Every structure is written in structure tokens, then in C-alpha cells.
Structure 1
Amino acid sequence: MSQNAPSEPPLTVLFTDLDGTCVHYDTHEFARVEQQPTAAGLYPAASLDGAQHTLLLRLPPSTSGAQGVISLETLRMYAALRQLGVKLVVVTGARTATLLARLPFIPAADAYVCEGGGRIFYPAVAADMPTAAPLVEDLAWRQRQVAAGPVGQDRLPPEQRTGALWRFYAQLTAAAPVGVKADALSYTTAFRVKGTPETVAAAVAELPDGLATAVNLGAADVFPATSGKENAARYLMERYGAAPDDCAFMCDDDNDLALAALVRRAYLPGITADTVRQAVDSNPERFYVAAAKGVFGAEEVLRVLLAERLAAATEAAR
């Protein structure tokens, strides 16, 4: 796939998804992983052809029981991009509790977006908030999500919350088609609809005004139309004074396509949805697709981004 031309401006903001992008599952599909960790708790791994080696961190299991891995080299390269002046933004559909549980294992970032765009957190100054993982939520952004109801009602059961989102949730749970489940556990600005592709599509076919949906990991996330990864990214671009052409996105799934179309280029460690493959085939110059798989694909993409950032900075300095 094509890479950035030197004449392009240096990368200002890198948005990155987590699952399927830098966090990977089903390690047997791309690596041979040793069963015993090192003294530092890292698991040595080699690519299936034996050509590449890395060290893996195991993340805590998600609410679904799946346990992902991320490589130490991946974390180091994200950090190197930040040292070069790139703002790093984690953008995930994960529920808030999952994001918070993963903080010791995912890249240190300038902003963390979860629930598919509904909530944004920033690292806080430790002196102001002396906690183990100091974060502060962007409440101005949260208050824009009117369809999710007011800030603070997350302590209430979902069916007792106000807002168009939770009225639809109550409606769906009261008359859910066979095989469809609405999951609101630890969500405050979204919920997830699970089932077969056909039953999920039917359940969210007619959304109330003010709501939107996106496919994520085979399920459908329902959220305020003011939310979503693309809207959250636009908000953060404004915060950082960046234009879409100054930004890139590491991603892999269907719910990433709107943001991928917004930025200069999308970088794919892998492809987990047919719609993403179709987008790549129809507009290949807007995508870089890794040849390697799993964590090795993430490392490949980050090496490309680092090389391009350095080349663009050198060109700009001439």
C-alpha cells in the first residue's frame, strides 16, 4: 500500500483503536507464545514463520471473558511518536469500566475516548489528582450527549435512566426479538446489541431520532447521534488545532470507517470486517495495510508511521 509523500505535513494527531488494532486475540493465528513469562511478566512470542520476535503483555479479561495481548514494542513505538510531538488519542468502543481496567496495559495517551465516542478522558496532573491513574473527564463533551441523559445518572439501572438512548434500551429489552440481547453493563452513553447479524440488524433498523448505530466486533453499538468516533475525533482535532489532513488513524473494523474517511490516511494492522476490505479495495491510496499479522502487524504499522513522521519533519525543516 502507498505511504505518505514527503510533501505532506508532519503528523499531528494519531487516533488509534484498541481491539484488533494494537490489542489482539487468538494469538495462535499469528504467533507461537511461550507459556512461561519472563521475570518482568512478559511472554516471549515468535511469528509463525519464526522471522519476528517480541514480548507480550496479557491484558485482564474483558467482560466477555476474552483476554487480549499487546506487545512491548508496540507500546514503545507509540511512546516514540509522542516524543516526536504527535498527540496520541485512544478511540475505542469499549465500555468505561473496560477502558479503566486496561490503563496499566495500553499506550499512554493524550486523550482516551471510550463507549464509541461518548466519553473523553485526559491525563490529569498528578499533583492535582494524586491517584494511581489520574484522569479527568471532559464534561463539556459529555454534556453534549443529550440523548444519553444528564451526567451522573450512570449510578441508576439503565431502565431507570432518562434520555432517548435509555428509552430505546427499555423498549428493546421489553420486547427483544428471540436471540437478541441489549447489553448496558458499565455503559453510560451507549449500549450494545448482540445476536446474529440478521437479528441485530433488525433490532436497530428503526432508531429513534437523535440516535445512531455502528457495527463493532459483530455487535451493534447504539449511541447518541452527537457521539461516535468521528464526532469525538473532530472535537479533539479542534482542541489540538489540527486539520483532518494532519491526522491518521490506526484501525481495523466497520465502526472505524467514518473516522478513517475523515483523516489523511488509515493504517490497518489487520482487517476484521468485509466492509473494511471493500473500502481498501475501492480506495487503496487512503490505506496502509500491514503484511504481518496480529501484534506484528501493529508493530509494522507503527514503524511506518515513525519513519513517515521523521521524513516529513526533515522535509519541513529544509
Structure 2
Amino acid sequence: GEAMTLDTDWARRFEGVTGPLEAGGLAEERKGTLWDLFRELKDMGLNPDSKGYTGCFRVDCKTPESVEKIERVASDKAGLSGRGLAHAMNLGKYDFFPQVAGKGNTVKYLMDKWGLKPEECVAMFDDDNDLPMAEACGAGMLPGVTSESVRARLAHEPDWTLAEAAGSGVFATEELLQRLLKQVTAPIPGDGGVLKF
């Protein structure tokens, strides 16, 4: 297959926050407000993880004291925003990333780049950190639900579909991908290209 390359137009949007994505190196030595925050959290006694990440990092808090510290940082939205940063929570872990990045903004960028409308896009998701992506797309498919807030919202989102095999891992994902494939290969006449499940 063809090797993937970095979309430099996309990466340039947050280079001031992350430094050049291709620069690599230890988080402790990287330039940018994201890595300044990484070092600050480390100095607070937290354990931020940057292994395998170039434009974000994750903090897993295992003690009540560490949860209290990270919530203090995460709740300062104005402080994070002033540094060009945002955060999301996923399965009890805190992800910090450039404010202009994140799943929702990435989907919007790709839709614009490829000339797609929201109703031509589907998000596959299961948790709170995925909601900005789901909100950017015209439809949502859930192979499972990993948070109570997503479960509560599901009943009020007519364009979201929960797999019949929800919670069965790859089987639920396979079910949804088959439904999506059927829809795009045999669209309903007169639906204007809107994806419906």
C-alpha cells in the first residue's frame, strides 16, 4: 500500500502549540505550549504520557490526589485556551491537545478539504471524547457505549444508530460497517445522498 504522509497544511495550524510534529524527541525537550504543560504536570507529581504521541499527550490519574490535581488544570478552560490548548476525557484518562485540533476540528478540516457536507459523513464512536466528531457529522454509529452521558444522549439523537450487537467489539463494528457499505452502494432513491440507518 501507499505510505501515509503528514498533511503539512493541517500540521501548520498548531505548530506554535506543539512545535513541528516531525521534530520528535523527548517531551521534556520539545518546544511549544503543549509541552510546557506536560512539564508543569510532571512537576506537579503527575505522570503525563507522550509515548507514541507527537501532537498530544495523555494523563492517567490513579489516586484521588492526582485526580484532584488534573481536574484543577482541566477545569481552567480559559487558561488552557489562552495557551491554545484543549482537553478531552476518555475512559478516565485526560488527553491534552491543540485547541484547533481534536476530533471535531479534524473532521471539519477533512470535510472542507474533500468538499463533503455533514450529511455525507458518519462518525463511529462510543465515548464523550468522540462527541465533537459525532456533532460534526450528519450521522453517528455506535458499536458500543462506554459512558453514561453518551448512553443518556443516545435516546435524543435520531441520527445516531446503536449496533444490535453493541458491546461485542469487532462484531458490532463489523455490523455497522456492513450497514454503511450497503447504504453507500445502494442509496435510497430520492434521499438526496443523506445517510440513513
TM-score by length of 2: 0.83
The answer (yes or no) to whether the contact 1:280–1:286 under 8 Å persists in 2 is: no
**RMSD in angstroms over aligned alpha carbons?**
2.1
Equivalent residue for 1:192, pick from 35, 58, 71: 58
Give the alignment of 1:236-247 within 5 angstroms: 236-247=110-121
Residue of structure 1 in register with 2:36 after alignment: 167
Aligned partner of residue 284 in structure 1, secondary structure: coil
Residue of structure 1 in register with 2:161 after alignment: 288
The structure-2 alpha-carbon separation of the partners of 1:309 and 1:230, relative to structure 1 and needing over 3 Å to count, comes to same
Q: CA deviation at 1:151?
A: 3.9
State the Cα deviation string for residues 119-154 of structure 1 (Å, max 9, x = none): xxxx74xxxxxxxxx221111211111211234331
The whole-number CA distance in structure 2 between the counterparts of 1:159 and 1:135 is 27
Aligned AA (2:5): V
The answer (yes or no) to whether the contact 2:104–2:135 under 8 Å persists in 1 is: no
Q: In percent, how many aligned pairs have the same letter?
A: 34
**Aligned: 1:218 with 2:92:** yes
Residue of structure 2 in register with 1:154 after alignment: 24
The answer (yes or no) to whether the contact 1:254–1:273 under 8 Å persists in 2 is: yes
State the Cα deviation string for residues 188-247 of structure 1 (Å, max 9, x = none): 110101114843433422243210001123201000101101111111111211011111
Aligned partner of residue 141 in structure 2, secondary structure: strand
**Aligned: 1:309 with 2:184:** yes
Structure with bigger strand share is 1
Aligned AA (1:297): A
Aligned AA (2:170): V
Aligned AA (2:44): A
Aligned partner of residue 192 in structure 1, secondary structure: strand
The answer (yes or no) to whether the contact 2:123–2:140 under 8 Å persists in 1 is: yes
Aligned partner of residue 212 in structure 1, secondary structure: strand
Q: CA deviation at 1:309?
A: 2.1
Structure 2: give runs of 5+ residues left out of the alignment. 193-197
Structure 1: give runs of 5+ residues left out of the alignment. 1-122, 125-133
Aligned AA (1:136): T
Structure with bigger helix share is 2
State the Cα deviation string for residues 30-73 of structure 1 (Å, max 9, x = none): xxxxxxxxxxxxxxxxxxxxxxxxxxxxxxxxxxxxxxxxxxxx
Equivalent residue for 1:141, pick from 10, 24, 32: 10
* Bigger relative contact order, structure 1 or 2 (CA pairs below 8 A, ≥6 apart): 1
TM-score by length of 1: 0.53
The structure-2 alpha-carbon separation of the partners of 1:316 and 1:194, relative to structure 1 and needing over 3 Å to count, comes to closer
Count of aligned pairs: 181
Q: CA deviation at 1:316?
A: 6.6
